[in-house]
Amino acid sequence: MEKIIIIGGRGTAIVIADQICDARKRFNASIEVLGLALDDLSGGDSISGYQILCGIKDLYQKYGIYDDVKFLYSLYRPDCMDERTKILYDLNIPFEKFTNFIHPSVMLAKSAILGVGNVFLANVVVNCNAVIGNFNTVNSGTLLGHDIKIGDNNYFAGQVCVGSGLEIGDKNFFGLNTSIRNGISIGNSNIVGMSSNITKSVTDHKVLYGNPAVIKPQLNHIMR
C-alpha cells in the first residue's frame, strides 16, 4: 500500500486527496492518503477531514525514512507559479520520494513518457508519444494530444484541450476549458485565462486570454 502525503492545503490538494480515496474505494487501488504537509494552521489541524501532519520543511525529516510513504506537491497558484515552484525545489527533497498519481479512469497511452510528481485526475486522456516532465498537475477531463512535449511544474485546470505536436515549457497555468492549437509552442511562466483559445505561439511571462487568446501586457503586474 502506497501512502501519500500531499504538500498543500485547501483547493487542489483536497481534490487530489479525494480522488485518491475514490481510486481506492471504487477501483481497489493500493493507495491511501496519509495526510497533508502545510505550514498554515489557522484553520485548525485538519482540512476537509485530512490531518495536517507537519510543516512542509519538516516533511522529509519526519517521513523520508519510510519507503512506503511518497509525496505529491500541490501549492500552485496562477499569479505566483515561479514563487511556488521555488518553494518545492528549496525543500531539497530527493525526486525518488515523489510519486505519480494517475487516477484509474485516466487513459494513458503506453508510449507516453512521464517524469515524477505528476498528478492526473479522473478522465484525463494522455495520447501516444506524449513526453511529460515533473510535477505537473492535470485536472479532470483534460486532453493531452499526441506527440507533445510538456516541461515541469505546469498546472492544467479542468477540461483543457492540448493539441498535438506542440511544446509547452515550465511553470505555466492554463485556466478552465483552455484550448491550445496543434503545432505551436508555449514558453515558461505564462497565465492563460479560462476558456481561452491559443492559436499562436507564446514566449515567456505573459498573461493572455480570449478567443483567440490575446496577450494583455497591462495585466503583467498580477504575476509574482
Band the pLDDT of 224: cuts 50, 70, 90: low
Band the pLDDT of 115: cuts 50, 70, 90: very high
Pick the CATH number of 100-223 from 2.170.150.20, 3.30.2020.30, 2.130.10.10, 2.160.10.10: 2.160.10.10
Domain boundaries, the chain: 2-75, 100-223
Q: Half-sphere exposure of 33 toward its Cβ, with a 13 Å CA cutoff?
A: 27
How high is the pLDDT of residue 42?
85
- pLDDT, tens digit, for every residue of 133-167? 999 999 999 999 999 999 999 999 999 999 999 99
How high is the pLDDT of residue 221?
62
Pairing of the two strands 143-144 and 161-162:
parallel
Statement: residue 116 has pLDDT above 70: yes
Statement: residue 77 has pLDDT above 60: yes
> Apex CA 120: angle with CA 119 and CA 125, to 5°?
155
The pTM (predicted TM-score) of the whole model is 0.95
In whole numbers, what is the pLDDT of the chain averaged over residues? 96
- CB of 117 within 8 A of CB of 102? no
- pLDDT, tens digit, for every residue of 32-61? 999 999 998 888 899 999 999 999 999 999
How high is the pLDDT of residue 43?
81
If you search the block for the grid coordinates 505529491, which residue do you land on?
Answer: 72
> Apex CA 107: angle with CA 106 and CA 109, to 5°?
135
Q: Which three cell numbers stand for residue 96?
A: 525518488
